[in-house]
Chains A and B, each alone.
Chain A
Amino acid sequence: MAEIAFRNVTKRYGDLVAVDDVSFTVEDNEFFCFFGPPLSGKSTILRLILGLETPDRGEVLIGGKPVNDVSPAGRNVAMVFQNLALFPHMTAAENVRFPLVERRVPAPEIGRRLAEVSEKLHIGHILHKPPAQLSGGERQRVAIARALVRDPAAYLMDDPISALDARLREETRVELKRIQRDLGKTLIYVTHDQEEAMSVADRMAILEGGGIRQIGTPVEIYDRPASAYVARLLGSPTMNILPGTHAGSAFEAADGAIRVADAPAGAMEIGVRPENLRVEPWTEDKQGRPVKVFEVEPLGGYTVVTLESGQSRLRALMRGQPDIRTETMVALSCDPARVHFFGQSGGALGR
């Protein structure tokens, strides 16, 4: 059992509250991601789990047992190499063995672990080769095998693939997730890349200033963000969040380019995901008012269109390669069921 939980944990460094009354439970075998900007508390949470820090208040539990007084060595959680690069002068086998040799694990045990992890990752046939003779994909698997060759109750990873090229990152994150499923181990993961977080996490916690703002599956958080802060962190391009005004029961934003008939009382801002913003050529019979196309960015399968309306800039994500030109006028609309409203303090409002 490798359930990992915090109960009202607070950690201070002098005046700085690094972790502020945090509670969560990471289930056994779960891929759990902490996501937030720099200094939001991600690394301190990892250090508290590892036992490198002791909470000022609250309790850390591993497998249901309080471990506040248990040393890092006694906790059986492993921090994985930050960098998935291989040692070029060692064979694949030597690379994989390295963490065990370094920890003076007995030779027969090393042999057993190596065989086990090689089988799971299908690298048995390439173990004798140096990294230079391996393909990109093989290198990745060897690096992951090295990361996972120890047999702890849970793994912690701190931004392990951030140093890779964009394309390799997309492939490695899928590989990591597959392997975690195959191994059936609890994995706590920290990343600064929202796309990576959404791709790998079973559930995730969104952090701000040492506190947890929302916990849920990536889909739940993306579709129903608890606040404007959370809404901005996930999604690319980010959600359009615009201040607006009530006009009777309707709500208007971006100089009237966005208008929703029915808004909750107390709404200060309206949020629309770029993929939920409809862009059409302007014609006289359209509702609302025309807005100007500021920029068109083709991604191939999608097109990002940046629009200018008064002081506001909005982004729309359109499927395919639509024929839209900069400096032309277009009509904007959105499905009222797919907009978000935020109140005075940025909290999401129900409808």
Chain B
Amino acid sequence: MSSIHLQNLVKKFGEFTALKTMDLVIEDGEFMALLGPSGCGKSTTMNMIAGIEEPTSGRILFGDRDMAGVPMGGRGVGFVFQNYAIFTHMTVRQNLAYGLRMRGLAKSEIERKVSAIAELLQLSPLLDRKADRLSVNILQRVAIGRSAIMEPAIFLLDEPLSNVDAAFRAVMRTELKHLQRQFRQTMVYVTHDQLEAMTMADRIAVMDHGVLQQVGTPLEVYNHPANVFVARFIGAPGMNLLKGRPAERDRGLVIDLGRLGATQPLPPALAASLRNHGREVLYGFRPEQTLLSAEGRGLRMPVDFVERIGARTIVHLGRDETAVKAVFENDVKLGEAVTVSPAEASVRIFDAATGTAIRAE
């Protein structure tokens, strides 16, 4: 069994607490992304799983085996870093074969495995090239291949794609996911890029300031963020959040957006949860689920800025506290001001004081 159990895991560096009491179970064969901004504790967590760092307190189990005191080499994990470690004086073939040779595998067996992994990572035509003649993109592919060929039960990747170019990153995302699906290793993937986490992971553990914020499938964290941090961090752009207060109107409970001078209706289930809330809330909705309404109800806002990025147009409306972003198709025509409204089913409400999501009853 190569499940990974993090139990009450804490890591301090002197006064600084890098990780506060983390509990997480990564299932056997699961692709888990540890996602968060710089300094959130994701790499520290990864390093403890790998055995590079010792926990200050708490336990790490692989299956039912406690990893306390087990050195990195004894854990049976494969590790790929942001900065690939490749022997530049060797060919791609020699790099891929290196670990298996150290392990003393038969030559024919090594050859078979090298050509299989090269095929999978599209390295076959490059097998006899010297590594020092290859691009960063290809080197990272070799680094991944060199770790994957050892068929580790647990595969750890720390920002492996941050140095490769954007087009290649998109290709590698698909390939990495496919590789994991084929070998069914337990994969832990550290990234600050929500796009990588969303596209590859079975589940995402979102972290901030050493605290695990939410664990869920990509669509769970996107559709039902546990708090405002997750709501803002997941999505491109993140969720819009406007200050408001629940208020009783003829048409039922609404959110009064105060400074924006608008009241927004609520789906009935959410209205029920908010009936006795009274306190200030954050009214959340996704830029991609924001509709342009020709007239009538909605938020009338000045167009501040328009980014047309290929297929999408990101429209920035208003400024500062009342800023809202909307994502439209690329052929949208805009005036100086527009009226937008969120698709009702996409509305999410958070407690303004605690930042915690208020769920529909």
User: Could you tell me which A residues sit within 8 Å of B by CB distance?
Assistant: 37, 165-168, 170, 174, 177-178, 192-195, 198-199, 218-219, 222, 232-238, 273-275, 294-295, 297-302, 304, 306, 317, 319-321
What is the CA–CA distance of A299 and B194 in the complex, to the nearest angstrom?
9
| Chain B neighbourhood of A298, CB < 8 A | 198-199, 218-219, 222
A273 with B311: CB separation less than 8 A: yes
Closest residue on chain B to residue A198 by CB atoms: B309
Shortest Cβ distance from B315 into chain A, in angstroms?
Answer: 11
Closest residue on chain B to residue A326 by CB atoms: B181
Contact partner, B305, options A178, A234, A295, Cβ 8 Å = A178
B37 with A299: CB separation less than 8 A: no
Q: Which of B66-74, B138-146, B171-179, B333-341 has 4 or more CB atoms under 8 Å from chain A? A: B171-179
What is the CA–CA distance of A52 and B284 in the complex, to the nearest angstrom?
51
A300 with B235: CB separation less than 8 A: yes
Shortest Cβ distance from A96 into chain B, in angstroms?
Answer: 22
Closest residue on chain A to residue B327 by CB atoms: A301
User: Could you tell me which B residues sit within 8 Å of A by CB distance?
Assistant: 37-38, 165-167, 170, 173-174, 177-178, 192-195, 198-200, 218-219, 222-223, 233-238, 286-289, 305, 307-312, 314, 316, 327, 329-330
A301 with B219: CB separation less than 8 A: no
| Chain B neighbourhood of A304, CB < 8 A | 199
What is the CA–CA distance of A43 and B167 in the complex, to the nearest angstrom?
21
What is the CA–CA distance of A218 and B306 in the complex, to the nearest angstrom?
13
| Chain A neighbourhood of B236, CB < 8 A | 170, 299, 301
A199 with B307: CB separation less than 8 A: yes
| Chain A neighbourhood of B235, CB < 8 A | 300-301
What is the CA–CA distance of A180 and B166 in the complex, to the nearest angstrom?
25
Q: Contacts A222-B310, A295-B177, A299-B199 known; A236 to B219 CB distance under 8 Å?
A: no
Contact partner, A166, options B194, B223, B305, B307, Cβ 8 Å = B194
Q: Contacts A165-B192, A300-B198 known; A275 to B305 CB distance under 8 Å?
A: no
A301 with B170: CB separation less than 8 A: no
A300 with B286: CB separation less than 8 A: yes
| Chain A neighbourhood of B223, CB < 8 A | 300
Contact partner, A198, options B170, B198, B289, B308, Cβ 8 Å = B308
Closest residue on chain B to residue A235 by CB atoms: B310
B308 with A218: CB separation less than 8 A: yes
- Sample of 20 more A-B contacts, CB < 8 Å, known A174-B307, A300-B234: A167-B238, A168-B37, A174-B305, A192-B166, A194-B166, A199-B307, A199-B309, A218-B308, A232-B167, A235-B311, A237-B170, A238-B170, A274-B311, A294-B174, A294-B178, A300-B235, A300-B288, A301-B327, A302-B312, A319-B288
| Chain A neighbourhood of B198, CB < 8 A | 297-300
What is the CA–CA distance of A192 and B166 in the complex, to the nearest angstrom?
8
What is the CA–CA distance of A222 and B234 in the complex, to the nearest angstrom?
27
Shortest Cβ distance from B101 into chain A, in angstroms?
Answer: 33
What is the CA–CA distance of A194 and B235 in the complex, to the nearest angstrom?
19
| Chain B neighbourhood of A198, CB < 8 A | 307-310
Q: Contacts A165-B192, A297-B174, A297-B198 known; A302 to B288 CB distance under 8 Å?
A: yes
Closest residue on chain A to residue B38 by CB atoms: A165
| Chain B neighbourhood of A234, CB < 8 A | 310
Shortest Cβ distance from B90 into chain A, in angstroms?
Answer: 23
| Chain A neighbourhood of B286, CB < 8 A | 300-301
What is the CA–CA distance of A317 and B286 in the complex, to the nearest angstrom?
18
B193 with A166: CB separation less than 8 A: yes
| Chain B neighbourhood of A297, CB < 8 A | 173-174, 177, 198-200
Shortest Cβ distance from A134 into chain B, in angstroms?
Answer: 15
A236 with B170: CB separation less than 8 A: yes
What is the CA–CA distance of A174 and B174 in the complex, to the nearest angstrom?
29
B195 with A219: CB separation less than 8 A: no
Shortest Cβ distance from B203 into chain A, in angstroms?
Answer: 13
A238 with B289: CB separation less than 8 A: no
A-B contact pairs, 10 of them (CB 8 A): A165-B192, A170-B237, A174-B307, A198-B309, A238-B170, A273-B311, A295-B177, A297-B198, A299-B198, A304-B199
| Chain A neighbourhood of B310, CB < 8 A | 195, 198, 222, 234-236, 273, 275
Shortest Cβ distance from B319 into chain A, in angstroms?
Answer: 10
Shortest Cβ distance from B89 into chain A, in angstroms?
Answer: 23
What is the CA–CA distance of A216 and B307 in the complex, to the nearest angstrom?
16
What is the CA–CA distance of A168 and B235 in the complex, to the nearest angstrom?
13
A192 with B165: CB separation less than 8 A: yes
Closest residue on chain B to residue A320 by CB atoms: B288
A317 with B311: CB separation less than 8 A: yes
B199 with A195: CB separation less than 8 A: no
| Chain B neighbourhood of A238, CB < 8 A | 167, 170
Shortest Cβ distance from A19 into chain B, in angstroms?
Answer: 21
B234 with A177: CB separation less than 8 A: no
What is the CA–CA distance of A236 and B310 in the complex, to the nearest angstrom?
8
Closest residue on chain B to residue A173 by CB atoms: B307
A300 with B219: CB separation less than 8 A: yes
Q: Contacts A174-B316, A317-B311 known; A236 to B167 CB distance under 8 Å?
A: yes
Q: Which of A192, A236, A317, A320 has the most CB of B within 10 A?
A: A236
| Chain B neighbourhood of A294, CB < 8 A | 174, 178
What is the CA–CA distance of A4 and B275 in the complex, to the nearest angstrom?
62
What is the CA–CA distance of A275 and B330 in the complex, to the nearest angstrom?
10
What is the CA–CA distance of A309 and B41 in the complex, to the nearest angstrom?
42
| Chain B neighbourhood of A37, CB < 8 A | 165
Closest residue on chain B to residue A194 by CB atoms: B166
A275 with B311: CB separation less than 8 A: yes
| Chain B neighbourhood of A301, CB < 8 A | 235-236, 286-289, 327
